[in-house]
Structure 1
Amino acid sequence: MSDFKRGYVAIIGRPNVGKSTLLNKIVGDSVSIVSKKRQSTRNKVVGICTRQNYQIIFLDTPGLDFNKKFALNRRLNKLALAEVVSVDLIIWVTEANKFTDGDKFIKRLLPRNVPLIIALNKVDLSKNLYEKKKIFENSSNFMSLKPNALIPVSAKKNFQLNQLVNEVVKVIPFQEKIFEDDIKTNRSKTFRVSELIREIVMRYIGEELHYSLSVKIDKMEERSMGRTPLDIFATIYVGKKTHRPILLGSRGVKISKISEAARRELTQLLGVKVQLNLWVKVKKNWVKDTNLLLGMGID
C-alpha cells in the first residue's frame, strides 16, 4: 500500500467568515476571490495543496446565505451543499466568538456520515478576556457533531494553519496523487482572470450592487509585437440601468481606476504585461433567472 495520502476537502461556512482567505493561505496562491461582500465565491473553486506525502484537493464553496430573495442565493446554496456529501472531509469555518442563526442552519444541514473539522477563525480579533471567553463558550455549540478536531485559527495571520492541515492529513485516505506538484488549481486561466476582475470591481462598489454583478471574459489575445503581450477584453454585467453609472463614475473615473487596478494585478497573476479592455453592460434581472445564471458561468 502507498504511504501517500490524497483526499477531497470541502470548505463551508457563512459568508465572510474567511473561507477563501483560509484556502488561499494553505494553497499558497490566490485561487479564490476574497471580499467582504456576501457570497463572493460563486463557483466551486479547486485549490490543490501538495507536499511530500500528501495532496489535499480543496473545494471552496459559496458562503451559505439563507436569504431566498434571489435565484442566485438559492443556486449558490444548492451548489455549496451538493459538494459536502461526496468529499472525504468537511472543514466548517466559523467566526471564533459567534454562533449565528446562519450557523444553526448549517449545523442542521451537515451530513453526519462525513468527517468534520471545525475551524474557529478570526481568533486574532478577540483581544480581551471577555472575547476570549466567548471563544470557549462557542466551542460547546459544535460538540454534538463529534468533530474530528476543533481548532482556533486566524487565516489572515496564518495562525495554526499548519495544525489544521495536519488534522486534515490524519483523516484523508491513502491513495496516489492525481495532480502534479506545481499545480495549485485546476481552474482555467479565463476563470481566474474573470474572478480577479470581479474581486477588484467589488472593492469599488457598494453592497447594493454586489448581487447584480458578473464578469465575462470575451477574448484573450496574445501578441508577438508591442509593449503588452496580452490583450484581455472583458464585459462587466449589471442587473439594472441605474447600476451602470455607478460603475462608470463621474466622467468614467471609477471604471478607469478599476481597469488600472485590475491591469496591475492581472500582470502580477499572469507574469506578462496586460492591456485590459473593459465594458459595462446591462443584463436585466439576471440574478433572478436560473437560465441566465447558467449562461453567465454560475454552474
Structure 2
Amino acid sequence: MKTILVTGSNGLLGQKLTENIRSSNKYHLIATSKGANRFPEATGYNYIEMDVLDPQSIHAVLEKYRPDAVIHTAAMTNVDTCEAQPEEAYQLNVESVKSLLRACEQFNIQFIHLSTDFIFDGADGPYDETASPNPLSYYGETKLAAEKVVQQATCPWVIIRTILVYGIVADLSRSNIVLWAKGALEKGQPLNVVNDQWRMPTLAEDLAEACLLAAEREAHGVYHVSGSDMMSVVELVRRVAAYWKLDASLINEVTSASLNQTAPRPMRTGFILDKSRKDLGYAPHGFEEGLALVDQQLHLHGQHKNENKLT
C-alpha cells in the first residue's frame, strides 16, 4: 500500500484528497498543513503540522514517513494578493517547491505539483500541454517559475495544471466562484460578472482523483486537468443561478477592464484534456453534475450543523 503525503491538507483540494484516500483504503495518508487539522474526521490517516516554508520541518517529516508520493497543493492562489505581496507569493509558490524537491530527491519520492492555467496569456485557449506559457500576472509568473524548478528535478515528477476549482469543505470555510455566486444571489445581491473571460471550471473531486491517478500510475510529465465544459464567467454564474433557481436578473455583465483588478487575467484559457484522459483515465464530471454534487454536500453539511445544534 503506497503512502501519500499531501501538503496544504486544510485547503479545498487537500480536504478532497483526504476524503478520497480515507474512503478508498488504497493508500496510507500523511496529511500536512499549518495549524490545527480542519478535516472533520481525525481517524484513518496521520495529520502532521508542517510548514512548507521550513526546510528542516519538511526534511524531518519526509525522512520519518518516506512517502511514495508528495502531492503539493499548498500555495498562494489569490491572484491580486500575489500581485500586492510578491515576496510572500514567491516564498510560498516557488521556495516551498525547492525545499520539498530537495527532500523528494534525497529519498526518491514522486513529486506531484499543482499548477494553473494562469501561466498562459489567454490569447488562444484552449491549450494542450505543449503550448508556450506567457503569464500576465505575478501569480502566473510564480507558478511558471515553480514548474521550471520541478522540471529540473532528479526525482520522478508530475505537473498537474488546473482551472478555477470549485467545491465545498465540511466547515464551509473555503469560498470559490460557485459558492460566491450562489450565496450572493440567494441574498438578492446584484453581481457584476465579466463577460469577456472564458474558463473550464474544475470540480475539486475530479482534481483530487487526477492527482491520485498520477500517483497510482506513476505518471511523469505535464498534464492538463479541468472540467470538460468551456464557458464564459458570466455563463458560469448564469448556470449556477439556473441550477438553484435563483434570480438571474441580478447578474450584470461587465468587461474585465471595468473591474480595475490589481492583476490582469487571461481572457480565454481552457484545456485540451486528451492526454489526461488517455494516460490517467481521467473522466471529469459535467458542470451541472458537479453542481449536483455540491448541492448534495451542502444538504449533508447543513443537516450535520442542525444536528449539532440540537445535541
Indicate whether the TM-score tops 0.5: no
Normalising by structure 2, we get a TM-score of: 0.29
Instruction: Determine which structure has more spread, i.e. the larger CA radius of gyration.
Output: 1
Normalising by structure 1, we get a TM-score of: 0.30
**Structure 1 or 2: more strand by fraction:** 1
**Structure 1 or 2: more helix by fraction:** 2
